[in-house]
Structures are given as C-alpha cells and as structure tokens.
Structure 1
Amino acid sequence: MATKKKHYTEEEILKSKTSALKADGEWKYRKRNYRQALNSFSAAIELTPKEKKCFVSRSKCYIQLGQFRNALIDAEASLVEDPFFPEGVYQKAEALYYIGEFEFALVFYRRGLKLRHQMEGWRVGIHKAEEAIIGSVGSRSFIKPEVMGDLSYLEEEIGRKQPIAVVQNLTKKDRSPVAMKNERTTRQLLGGFYQHKGFLEKLLKDEDLIKGVTKNGERVDDLIKNCITSLNHCADFWSQEKPISPKEISRQPKPPKPSLTTRKAQYLLKSFDEITPLATGNPKCSLRKTEDIIKTVQGLTDKECLIKDELMCFLHSCMGLAFFDLGDLDRAMEHHEDDLNLARQCNIPDAISRALANIGSIYAETKQFEKAIEFWIERIPYVHEGLENTWMLHEIGCCYLELNYPEKARDYALCSIAAAEEMFEDMWQLRASVLAGQCELILGNFESSVSLFEKALSLAELENDGTARKAIQKALKEANEQLQNQQQSSQNEKNEEEKEEQEEDA
C-alpha cells in the first residue's frame, strides 16, 4: 500500500519556515556574516512578528554591526509580551551599555541576575557597567541603586506603550570614549585592532572631518567615538575572561580568609598564597607546606580562629589535589572524603561542592563511571557558576556514553550545550556538540548527528582548532555516509512498495 502524503496546516508550514530562517540566521551569525544573519532574522520576524527569540537574535546582529539604537529597539520588542524574558532583559542591558547609558544598563543587569542567577553573563555585565560608571563619574557611590527619581519607570514598565520611551527621554550626554586605565594592557588585549583604535583617535583631532554628517544623518564625531568606545569595551570584556578550564576551576580550592590579628594568622594568610598555585604546579612542595599549615591550624584555639573547620576543609582539598597530581589516587580520595565529611558536618556548601567534584573526578579517572555520575549529580544543586555547570554536565554525559547509555549521554550533552550557549562559550559548545553527535550516531539518528557535527565543525573553525577540525570532519564523513545509506534504503523500500502496487493493479 502506498503511504498517504501528510497534509500540513498553514500554521505548521509557517512554523517550519520560521525555524529554517532562524537556523540559517544562527549559522550565519556563527560564521560572523552579521548582515546576512540580520536579513534571515528579519525575514523570520516578518513571518512571526511575536517571535521574541528572533528579536533577541537580530538585536545581537545590530550590536555586532554597531547599530546600538536598533539593537535596543529589538531588545525592547522581545519584552513586550513577557517583560521578564531573561534573554530579552540581558540584550536590553547590553544595548544600553553600548549606547553609553551605563547606569540604566546596570539596573537591567541586576534585574536579570534576580531572574536567572545561574547565568554568568549578568555578573560580567554588572562588573563592566560599574567600571564604566566609575570611569565616567569617578565615584562608586554613584552606582548604588535607589528607588527614587527617574528609576520609577521600572515599576510601570509593563504598562508602557512606547518600547524605547526610557531612552527617548534620557538626557543626551556628550560622552567621550571610556579610556582603559592601562594603555599597555589595552594594546595586548586588542592585538591588531589597537592600530585601528589609534587611527580613529587621530581622526577625532581633525576638526573639519568630525563636523561632517553621513547620508543617514549621523554625526561623524559620534560614529568615531562609538567605534572607539566599542573597542575599549571589548578590551575591558576580554580582560575579565580567565583562560582556565572549568575542570581546573573546580579543582582549585579557594582559601577562606581568617580575620585574625595574631602572628599565626599572618603566617596562614601568607601560606595560602603559596600553597594554592603549588597544588597544581609543584605537588611535592605543596604537600610539605600543607602538612605544616595543618599542624598550625590544629594548634589554634576557637577564639584565635573562628573558621577552623573551613580552613581544615580547604587544606584537605589541597592535600587531595597534590596526591592526585602525584598519582596516589587512594590517598587523594582519603583527603577529599575528609573534606566532604567535615564540610557536611559543618554545612559549608562551597566545600561540599568542591569535594563532590574532586571525588567524582577520581572515580572517572579510575573508570568507575557509575560512582562518578552519582557524586556529580549530587553536586548539581550546589553549582551556581554557569561554566562549571557546563563542564559537569558534559562529564556526566561522557560517563554515560562509557557505560553504553547513549540516550542519557545525549540528554546531558544537550543540557551542556544549552548551558554553554547561555555563557556564549564556544569551546564548550563545541565539545558538547561532538558528544551529542556521537550519541546520535550510535542511536541511528543520522540526520541529527550530521547537524550536530556540522555545528561543532563551524565552532572548531571559529576557534581555529585544527586538531578538533580534523577529528570532526572524519566523524561527519561517517555520519553522512550512514545518512546516505539510510536514505537509499528508504528509497529502495519505497520503490519496492510502488512496484508491488503496480503489479497488483495489473
């Protein structure tokens, strides 16, 4: 019997077209073809004017193209039906920041932090907005939010009809580009862009040029200043990024700071600075130093040290890391278990999270994947940093794949991708996409596997990772071959069915 063709409703067709345009826009955005990506998102918005995620994506394109006012308009449009849509609030804060309205950007970064505190972008935004305000005003007291004056519009935002009424009513300020405090640091951060920044600064000195106006009615002076400010913002943002993997973050314990005035306290504070880097650099020296500090801490009275238990947790963690680096996993486990038991007894959440991560890592190292999963899943409620969450979800997925549970592995990989996308973390999107692609290949979902490997390949190209690119190309080739075989097999079956029908009719 011939299979009946499925008839799609207009709504389904519209949804399908919109999804295709969104996917096309996202692909072009990742390839840094921002203008083409903008066109795709605009076409998607024409089909579904209430699609808030499309407005957010187009707003991102506008920011990349330096059209910050348009970025704000789209960010506002994404909040019309849902004023608490986190991605829209974040994009509005970003647009306000790039326009130069740092105080209002700070308000929305802080609002977003309350909406979705696990998203690391809010904290980065708060930091850079505060720094920008200090640079332009000179006093941190200015940035303390007060429920008074012009901020009252926040309470009435839901009822506003004009999307950018706030910005339209703002006093226009002639803000000069915010300068970085250390020009040498700026040069290192911007790399080749530093020369462009210098060229733009020279253009500002040309009085005849800056008086000009473009065809669109924009002042040349404003355009140049906006470009310089954008470069300074980029340098400021890059200076905040830490080139350290989430795995290393979870391994490194953060020393508590005892508020003591004794000589022993001063010795402890100095010692913490020494053993923390040694735990990952010189494990033998770290062990010796940590053992000495443990004796000192144990000799302190409760009056001399009010956080003695917290200090002992930290020191057990350092000992565990040192033994791990020396290959003595049994003794490493002993110290991490001591860290966990004491942390639970004293209810120290950060120490509990740290110990669970380290114990899970030891079980994964010894190929006891079920145990590793057990400890890492227990740790999930304690994780508040987006990047650490991305890493941990990826590692749980890897363990499930090792245990031959590809469906569970895929689910955790997709969660890791979502967390990495929230953090705008391309490298972890790449790793999680590869893991998800491998799972889909095993499950026989070849079309999905090809899509995930293609995404990973584009990210590898953006990261300029040649090794990853070669490995992904090989996996993508295999997935494509399997997909072609599957399609050919389906076509052969269809042909056989049609042939049988023709014979029956005859």
Structure 2
Amino acid sequence: MPRQDDAGSESEHGKIPKSTFEIYRAEGDSQFRNKSFLKAIECYTQALEIKPGDQYCLVNRSKCYLNEGNIAKALADAEESLKEDAAFHKGIFQKAEVLYFKGDFENALVFYHRGHKLRPEMEEFRLGIQKAEEAINNSVGDPSVIKLRSDGDLSFFYAAEEKKKPAARSSYQKPKKEDSGPKRAQRNKAPADSKTIKKMLGDLYADREYLEKLLREESAKARKTEHSEKIQDLCIEGLNYLDSRSEFWQQQKPLYSRKKSAMREAAEKDKSSAAKYVIATLEEIDNKQTAGEHEAAIKQATRLLRTVEKWSPEDLQNREEIRANLHSLIGNSQFELERYDQALASHQADQKIGEEHELEESQARSRDNIGRVLAKQGNFSEAIQVWEQRLESSKSLSPMESTWLHHEISRCYLELKEFNKAKELAEKALSYANQMGDNQWLLNTNVLVAQCEVRLKNYASAAGNFDSALEHARIVDNALAIDAINRAIQDVNQKLVEEEKRLEEERQAGEQGEGDAKPDEAAGGEEQQQQQQQQQEQQEPVQQQQQE
C-alpha cells in the first residue's frame, strides 16, 4: 500500500489525499496481479475517491469483486464504467463476463455481440459469444434439434433476442432526499433440486445450509435491528452467489468435470514440490477455461505437459494420470475453439494413456469426449459406437451419467433418421432422469421423447411429453423453454386436428364406396337371373325332341 510519507500537507479546505491517483491505481494493479483482491479493491476505491468514474479502475475493481464472488458489486462497477461512454469496450466485456458468471447467459450474449460489433478484431468477444451460446444450448440441448417446424421437424430454444435495457443508475450517485435509503438485498429464486445443488456445490453445500439456517433465524426475530438486517442482507448475497454458481456449473461444465478427479485427489496427497506446482497450475488452467481463455489455457497446459513428461514416476506420483488429464484439458479447449480434428487427437491421446495404464477415469472421460467431437463433426454413427462402448465398459454409472449418455445417443439416432431407435434411447434417458429427480434433465429428456414422437407422427404422445416438459420448464423458471414449448404444443395440436380431419375424410370416403357398391350388386343379380332363364328356354325344345 502507499506510504503515509507520500501524503501531502493539509490545506485550509481539508486534507489532501494521502497519495496520488496514479499511485493508488498502480498499487491496485499490483495487488490484483498477486490475487490479493480485497487489497486491490481498497486501492481502487481510494483511487476512485480522488478521480470518480475512472473507467479503468471501475473495470478492474469489478474484476476483483467478481473474483471475490460479489456479483452485485461487480455488475454495478461494470455498468458504472459504461455510464459516460456506452461504447467503452472493456466495460462492455466486463459486464458480459459478470452476466455470464451470474448465469444470465442470454444477456451476456447480448453484450458479447455488442462488443464484437465495436471491436471485431478482439478474440475475447468472439470466444465470449461462443461460450455463451454453448451455455444456452447446454441448458436444454442443441437449438437445431428441438424446435417444431411446420414440416414436423423438432428442434428447440431459439436464440434470445437482444433486449434494450435502460441505462444503469450510477453506483456513486448520491441518494436524493426522497430516497428512503439503500435497497435491501433480494433473494433470487433458488434452484428447485436440492440433490442437484448438493452435487454441484460439493463441500460448499454445508455453507449454503448454514446461511439458510441463519437467514431463517434472523427473519424470525420479532424485533428487527440494523444489525439483524445487515446479517440478512449478507446471507442473501451469499445464497444468491452459491445458487448462481451451482446453476453455472450444472449448465456449463461437461459431465465428467463435475466430480473431482481421482488424479487430483492423489496429487493432493503427494506433498512434493512437483505435485504442489502441478496442482497450482491445473487450477490456473481450469480458471482460464472457465473464463473462456482457451488459447491461454492450451499454451499453459502444453507447457505443463512437456514439463511433466520430463519427470520420472519417482519425481511425481500418478504421473500418467496427470499426463492423461492434461491431454483432456487441451482437447476441451480445442473443442471450444472449434478445432475438432486437434481436439479428437488430444482425447485419443488421453484414451491411449488410460488403456495402457488401466486408468478407468481416463478411459471413461476420453470416450465421453471423443463421442462429443465426433457428433459435432456430424459423424453420428461413430459417436454412437464410442458411447455404446462407454455404456458396455463401465462397471457402474450414476443416474446422471446414464441420462447424459442415453440422451446423446438418442440425438445421434435422431440425426440419422432412425426414429424408433432414437425414441427407445430417449425413453431410457427419461427413466434415468426420473431416478435423479432433476427437473432440468426431465425437461431435456421429455422434449427429446416428444421430438421422436413427432417424427413418428405420434402426435398425441408428443403432446403429452411436451406438457410434461412445460411443467419442468416452469419449475426451473426457464422463460425461453416455456415460450418454445408452448409454440411446439400449438403446432402439435394443429397436427392432431389435421390428422383427425384426414382420418374422418377417409372414413366418409370408405362409407360412400360401400353404398355405391350395393346397387351394382343388385343389378348384377338380375342379369344373372335373366341369363339363366334364357338358357332354360333354349334347352326345353331340345329336351322335347329327345323325349320324342
């Protein structure tokens, strides 16, 4: 921090700041680089007191708040940086990042697009668009596969339209006399599935339970004090943050990365300096990937891989697990950058190491990823083969893993127009989703089953599955899904009406055909009788001659 010696003297108008704006800002930058975010916040705050509204300090303080998990303040600073200049690209990017980490992927996408239009040369905006779209798709499935079109093709969830938002109020604006004071923290709608939250948060779930208990106790107090209200606000902020992180991890991270790998657990037990270095670097790589910095993640993972390969197993325990995991991390970032051939090679390297050293986690993870790449490339038959091997080779699968695998295989069969097989797999995925009781997956799988039913022209069954999907969409409060499903239900109902009309016309045509056939049959009978009578009359003279 700046020293007291740097301070100036006092004047008649009050104290001159203890240090200059540039020194406070530079100290904040230094603390930020050292990841001392609270100290950096203090420095940037001092700088902003000297020079209110400085865009650079606001953006950097927003980054610090984001790293500390204070989403509300991070968003306020990002919006404040755009107050004077709405085209400030760093502020636009920071606001998009905050919205993304908040789990508001649709609005994040709006600002990534806005920044990309202003600065198309910046890679960050292109990657931001990509990861936001991926996050939106992952929440319910690929939008190209689940919307109901007029020809009966189903796909789902149209891209969110950009919405014009009112200008944000300055976080530094003094409250007017009529303002009653600062607004109290508001509790966001909590995710519906406690089981899923527990899986996503892991050790943090105990903290969430404690905050909920404390909030209930403070809310139940008959006499409210400023102290108790402050505690309630802090509890609400903490709960909102944990819930937003839970939702983010559920929607954005791949299935295999939702559980702590055996490799990392083993590495943590290894107290060597090499192991500590590996763990720290892996965390940095993971943070870069979460932030969408995939180029940087690839470079860092590649450097670490080269270093690890120079070490012997004596230098580093579980060396092969670490090598396999690094190939996987590199492949994931290559996948996000749409370098599918390179991603496939990386995941195949992960698989090879897993098979050579009998690493179950590596083999399972690599098959999941290889299937994802193949499906993205349009090689659906190969993806099915890989995922079916995964099902056969795994000794035990969790309901979530089973749901995901059957869901993805079903979508591949749907692309191959093998609708009966797709329906069979989709129904299995739905069964596993029911076992989990996860409303998000119940939404996904019901939509997928409905899609198969529409392709098979079983419109009544499709309507039933869409109704179930709509119920779960309301539970998870997914407005996009609710809107899309309602439109799909209308289309299916229209198909049902058209189908009933067609069947009724066929029935009436059939009845008419039967009625026309009866007079013809009667006329044919009379002709036959006349012919028989003529034959009889011709035979009578012959019979008389024979008798004579």
TM-score range, shorter chain: 0.5 to 0.7
- Correspondence for 1:324: 335
Q: What is the aligned-residue RMSD (CA, Å)?
A: 4.1
Percent identical: 24
Instruction: Confirm or deny that 1:417 pairs with 2:445.
Output: no
CA contact (8 A) 1:343 1:352 kept: yes
For 1:399-438, what aligned pairs fall within 5 Å after superposition? 399-438=412-451
Mapped to 1, the partners of 2:335 and 2:514 lie a distance apart of 68
Instruction: Confirm or deny that 1:268 pairs with 2:273.
Output: no
- With over 3 angstroms needed to count, the CA separation of the structure-2 counterparts of 1:245 and 1:364, relative to structure 1, is farther
Measured after TM superposition, the shift of residue 495 of structure 1 is 4.5
- Correspondence for 1:210: none
Mapped to 1, the partners of 2:306 and 2:432 lie a distance apart of 42
- Correspondence for 2:325: 314
Instruction: Confirm or deny that 1:375 pairs with 2:380.
Output: no
Mapped to 1, the partners of 2:270 and 2:249 lie a distance apart of 31
- Correspondence for 1:181: 210
Mapped to 2, the partners of 1:333 and 1:467 lie a distance apart of 33
- Correspondence for 1:443: 456
For 1:353-502, what aligned pairs fall within 5 Å after superposition? 353-381=364-392, 382=394, 384-495=397-508
Measured after TM superposition, the shift of residue 470 of structure 1 is 2.3
Structure 2: runs of 5+ lacking an equivalent: 1-193, 224-238, 523-548
> 1:235-274 CA distances to partner (integer Å, 9 max, x unpaired)?
9x97995642377233638353324343222212221221
> 1:303-338 CA distances to partner (integer Å, 9 max, x unpaired)?
233311111111111111122223322221111100
CA contact (8 A) 2:196 2:438 kept: no
- AA aligned opposite 2:343: A
Measured after TM superposition, the shift of residue 342 of structure 1 is 0.9
CA contact (8 A) 1:251 1:321 kept: no
- Correspondence for 2:308: 297
- SS of 1:304's equivalent? coil
- Correspondence for 1:249: 254
CA contact (8 A) 2:446 2:465 kept: yes
Pick the structure with greater CA Rg.
Answer: 2
For 1:96-245, what aligned pairs fall within 5 Å after superposition? 180-182=209-211, 187=215, 198-202=218-222, 243-245=248-250
CA contact (8 A) 2:470 2:485 kept: yes
- SS of 2:417's equivalent? coil
Taking structure 1 as the reference length, the TM-score comes to 0.52
Q: How many residues align?
A: 306
Structure 1: runs of 5+ lacking an equivalent: 1-119, 136-178, 188-193, 204-233
Mapped to 2, the partners of 1:123 and 1:463 lie a distance apart of 13
Mapped to 2, the partners of 1:474 and 1:349 lie a distance apart of 44
- SS of 2:455's equivalent? helix
Measured after TM superposition, the shift of residue 477 of structure 1 is 1.6
For 1:55-66, what aligned pairs fall within 5 Å after superposition? none
Measured after TM superposition, the shift of residue 358 of structure 1 is 0.9
CA contact (8 A) 2:450 2:466 kept: yes
Mapped to 2, the partners of 1:239 and 1:313 lie a distance apart of 31
CA contact (8 A) 2:321 2:359 kept: yes
Mapped to 2, the partners of 1:246 and 1:240 lie a distance apart of 10
- AA aligned opposite 2:255: S
CA contact (8 A) 2:197 2:246 kept: no
CA contact (8 A) 1:393 1:413 kept: yes
